[in-house]
Amino acid sequence: MNHSITMSQEQIASFLANAFFCTFPRRNAKMKSEYSTYPDINFNRLFEGRSPRKPEKLKTLFCYFRRVTEKKPTGLVTFTRQCLQEFPDWERSQKKLSRLHVTYEGTIESNGQGMLQ
């Protein structure tokens, strides 16, 4: 069954800010509860331990928060969960894969028209 949710960019910014400040209540604290195997939604793991990747992740979040506070976002984003009836047999597939171009230069905003991130 496929499900979609549409949120404004402003709602997403609020959602991320709450996750950043770890304000969401813990929903999976009880063992064997419906949500016990769900991952935490808060970003508290981002503040734990040392990793060279964590400062870069924080820089990305700070950049995002700076941008959405300088200019209010006005768009909509739709997330869709799609489920397949049966899993594809990739080993027997005759379809060719699309060409893939990977680059580390430029920015998504300036150079990423039509690209995935």
Query: Which residues span the domain enclosing 8?
Result: 3-85
**Domain contains 27:** yes
Alpha-carbon distances of 74 from 3, 48, 52, 68, rounded to whole Å: 23, 33, 34, 10
Closest C-alpha to 42, from 56, 60, 29: 29
Tell me how many domains the chain contains.
1
Whether 108 is in a domain gets the answer: no
Q: Band of the pLDDT at 92, cuts 50, 70, 90?
A: very high
Q: Is 53 within the bounds of a domain?
A: yes
Give the pLDDT of residue 72.
92
Predicted confidence at residue 22, as pLDDT, reads 94
Task: Please give the model's pTM, rounded to 2 decimal places.
Answer: 0.67
Residue 111 domain-assigned?
no
Residue 103 domain flag: no
CA distance 94 to 81: 26
- By the 8 A CB rule, do 105 and 111 touch? yes
pLDDT digits (tens, 9 = 90+) for 49-87: 888 889 999 999 999 999 999 999 999 999 999 888 888
